């Protein structure tokens, strides 16, 4: 897709709605979006909703004076709030004859390939059966290393899980501005190169204590979705039928067009779903072979390693200045790589004491960033 007119062809859409919008008046907001979901379904569009708001809806009900700052406090708030959140969605979607299917994910569900494929089956069956998957992070059990961090990222990773055509992030501003909206900045209607046109202006984006996102995380989400070939639209959820008007080619929001290099699902998963366990620092020759020559990474170009990782774990590939330029699955564990780094492929078997593949990261397991 390259122009707003083409958005009409989107057959499967993820709608992400943020805490700040939902916390204001949950039932009313959810009702409006449920009505729009019905209308979208009636024109043949599959809808998956990624909803924040569990923590925002939970903490007051626990009698906390403010949004908790501790992990157990956030977990408890999410446990209480998620029930209210899904109830609101079930009621509102049910009023339109739609079943809401609650899907709570942790980062483990996309990091572990088996669980990822399993989650994919669940989504596809929910959609086949005509239900509306209503997704949130499983905040009650998600801590640090199994956390997505924010629902913008969660929604972006879901684009590959459900093979979405578009991701619509509804928020409380009209889109991405070229500066501070309070001092006359203008809305950017379209972004074609996220790194050049969006990252600098997105800033850190305060969220006013409701969600965890801000504009910077929306831009990152657009980048992840874009590498999967999926268009992202960031728009105000306060407008009437925001998703329908966007799919009809209206001029609301900021559209982030996908980058040209669409990654296959597996490579996308390697690049963005996994959290690297360590780094391989490579010399300039190896970098050139990977970037220009589209080659696999061989032991000879590796200068040193950082971190501990097992065979098959995801690792960063960084150049000698420390800049990461690729990610991949390392065929060897950290001890093995230490032994063979800088050596010729023909020496590998003797160094390790057993026969092994000559690629430290095979081309098929490598993604240039
Ligand atoms: N998963 C969190 C919640 O439902 C929200 C995360 C976010 O705001 O991005 O409360």
pLDDT one-digit tens code per residue, 51-90: 999 999 999 999 999 999 999 999 999 999 999 999 999 9
Question: Average pLDDT, whole number, for the chain?
Answer: 90
pLDDT at 280 over 80: yes
Instruction: For the chain, give every residue range classified as CATH 2.30.130.10.
Output: 276-368
What are the angstrom distances between the C-alpha of 332 and each of 30, 118, 280, 308, 362? Answer: 49, 27, 11, 11, 11
Q: Using a 6 Å CB cutoff, which residues line ligand 1?
A: 18-19, 52-56, 78, 136-137, 139, 150-151, 211-213
**Helix, strand or coil for residue 204?**
coil
* b/e code 180-199 from CB counts within 10 Å (16+ = b): eeeeeeeebebbeebeebbe
pLDDT at 144 over 80: no
Q: Are 9 and 1 in contact (CB under 8 A)?
A: yes
CATH class of the domain comprising 276-368: mainly beta
Could you report how far apart the first and last alpha carbons of the chain are, in Å?
A: 21
> Global pTM?
0.77
Is the domain 4-265 a CATH 3.30.530.20 member? Answer: no
- Centroid of ligand 1 to alpha carbon of 54 (angstroms): 6
Burial class of residue 221 in the structure, from the number of CB atoms within 10 Å of its CB (0-12 exposed, 13-18 middle, 19+ buried): buried
Instruction: Give the containing element (helix H, strand E) for 147.
Output: none
Question: Nearest C-alpha to atom 8 of ligand 1 is from which residue?
Answer: 211
- Centroid of ligand 1 to alpha carbon of 137 (angstroms): 7
Q: Residue 55 CA: which ligand 1 atom is closest? A: 10
- Centroid of ligand 1 to alpha carbon of 212 (angstroms): 6
Kind of pairing between the strands at 254-256 and 190-191: parallel
Kind of pairing between the strands at 278-282 and 254-256: unpaired
Structure confidence at residue 209 (pLDDT): 44
| Mean pLDDT of the 215-241 span | 91
């Amino acid at each position: 897709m390259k122009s707003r007119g083409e958005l009409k062809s989107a057959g499967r859409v993820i709608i992400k709605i943020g805490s700040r919008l939902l916390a204001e008046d949950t039932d009313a907001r959810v009702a409006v979006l449920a009505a729009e979901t019905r209308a979208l379904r009636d024109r043949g569009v599959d809808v998956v909703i990624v909803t924040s708001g569990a923590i925002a809806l939970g903490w007051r009900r626990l009698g906390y004076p403010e949004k908790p700052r501790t992990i157990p406090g956030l977990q408890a708030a999410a446990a209480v709030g998620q029930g209210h959140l899904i109830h609101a969605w079930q009621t509102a979607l049910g009023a339109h004859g739609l079943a809401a299917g609650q899907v709570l994910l942790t980062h483990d569900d996309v990091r572990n390939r088996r669980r990822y494929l399993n989650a994919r089956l669940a989504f596809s069956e929910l959609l086949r059966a005509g239900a509306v998957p209503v997704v949130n992070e499983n905040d009650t059990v998600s801590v640090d290393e199994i956390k997505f961090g924010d629902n913008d990222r969660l929604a972006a990773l879901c684009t590959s899980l459900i093979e979405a055509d578009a991701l619509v992030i509804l928020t409380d501003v009209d889109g991405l501005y070229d500066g501070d909206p309070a001092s006359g900045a203008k809305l950017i209607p379209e972004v074609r190169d996220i790194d050049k046109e969006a990252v600098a202006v997105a800033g850190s984006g305060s969220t006013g204590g409701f969600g965890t996102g801000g504009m910077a995380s929306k831009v990152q989400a657009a980048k992840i979705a874009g590498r999967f070939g999926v268009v992202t639209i960031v728009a105000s959820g306060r407008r009437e039928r925001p998703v329908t008007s966007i799919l009809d080619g209206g001029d609301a929001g900021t559209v982030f067009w996908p980058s040209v290099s669409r990654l296959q699902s597996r490579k996308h998963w390697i690049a963005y779903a996994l959290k690297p366990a360590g780094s391989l620092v490579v010399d300039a020759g190896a970098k050139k072979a990977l970037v220009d020559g589209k080659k696999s990474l061989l032991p000879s170009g590796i200068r040193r390693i950082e971190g501990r990782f097992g065979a098959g774990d995801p690792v960063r590939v960084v150049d000698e200045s420390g800049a990461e330029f690729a990610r991949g699955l390392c065929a060897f564990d950290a001890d093995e790589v230490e032994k063979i780094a800088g050596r010729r492929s023909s020496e590998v078997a003797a160094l390790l004491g057993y026969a092994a593949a000559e690629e430290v990261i095979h081309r098929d397991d490598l993604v240039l960033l």
